[in-house]
Structure 1
Amino acid sequence: VNAMKSSWAGALGQPQFMPTSFLKHAVDFDGDGRPDIWNSTPDVLASIANYLVHYGWLRGRGWGVEVTVPANVSCALEGPDQGKKVSDWVAMGIRRADNKAFQASELKAEGLLLMPAGRSGPAFIVTPNFYVIKQYNNSDLYGLFIGHAADRIAKGDATFAGSWGPVGDLHRSDIAALQRALEAKGYDVGSADGLPGFKTRRSIGVWQAKNGKPATCFPDAGLVAQLK
């Protein structure tokens, strides 16, 4: 019991499981009779895998790939509830950023557009596995960087092809004010919490398109001023 140390918030071991997750998902993979997510690498990795499988990880698929999105494809098509066959995204002009073709099996499967910085950053076609990763931490950037780190370990992939624009120029209170203004106009931003999640990003894009403006799908100072 003394070895079962946690963070100040109660997260346990190397996977940082909360106690309920430890009870549900921790695995004794090294066969010593107890799941040890503090010191046993086999137990740590097997427990994380068990967690991901529980939330629906699809064997044989990765998390996603970076893509290029033509200007005529709306950034408001983003989101886990707007999936299409990967072949449909390709038919719209979306291509892998590394210029490789999608595998035939992937073309038949569901892909989801992810543009975490709208038109101000890299874009991705992700698989449902990306949203399984987000069960671990409900952040697009967390899921993105976990997937990217795994690619770099497995394949030696380098940095993203797309560059990140000025995405950190606003205070959280400014974004929350923008979200409240969009809500007042009937848009679903998810929550007026100052965090530009996919519902906020695509609501911005829809509002911009309806008002004759280029859809950027990301908050900026000019947009905040227009919507206040």
Structure 2
Amino acid sequence: MYRLTGSVGQGGRNAHDDVLLVQKQLNKNAHITSAIGTLPETGIMDEATLRAILSFQRAVVRLGSPDGRVDPHGRTWRMLLGDQPQATNVAFVQLSGENGNFYLYESQDRVWGTASTIQSIRNVAAVLKPHGFEIAIGDISFQQGGRMAPHGSHRRGTDVDIRPVRADGRRAPVTISDPNYSHARTKLLVEALHAEPNLKLILFNDSKMAGVRFWEGHHNHLHVRFEE
């Protein structure tokens, strides 16, 4: 299913099925960098696909001189499939110490992040504490980074899943269609996140919420990305 038979991109063979496969994998990884966007899955090698390959190589593969090509056994293809190590040599910090204004809904081995990411979470939680509700923190990264199933991201210590805020204050999941979902409280959360200077993007599917981007599957959590 994921076998690439020839190179795709700049100077590549660009067979239809190979291009289509690369486009699908780029779309699965599009939230890693906001510069990629969603590609039409046409199987045709075009300028948009080339830009997406280059963007992925810069942001994720970290090539000093991106070549715009995906080779069957090359690093770009492996990383599109999820073979990604920790992005930096900086030691990650574990989020811990529930203090009444945030709690963890995933295991503690999944809440490691860069120091600036962890500090931003604490900042946001502190800002929201006077409003009388706590925030629910999910997956961030493993201690050594790398792939974290089932995500395409959460490898670099800068991605954080946060539940929408419930109106009843229960420590439980909630979706935007649930009567217990509080748009007003979640709006305060989004505003507090935007006050952090290292915020990069928020993926969340409340169409009435300013400051977020729609992304399929984000009706029950906010995917927050901070700068490295």
Fold-level similarity (TM above 0.5): no
Higher relative contact order, structure no. (Cα contacts within 8 Å, ≥ 6 residues apart): 1
The structure number with the bigger radius of gyration is: 1
Give the helix-richer structure, 1 or 2: 1
Taking structure 1 as the reference length, the TM-score comes to 0.32
Higher strand share: 2
- TM-score (structure 2 length as normaliser): 0.32
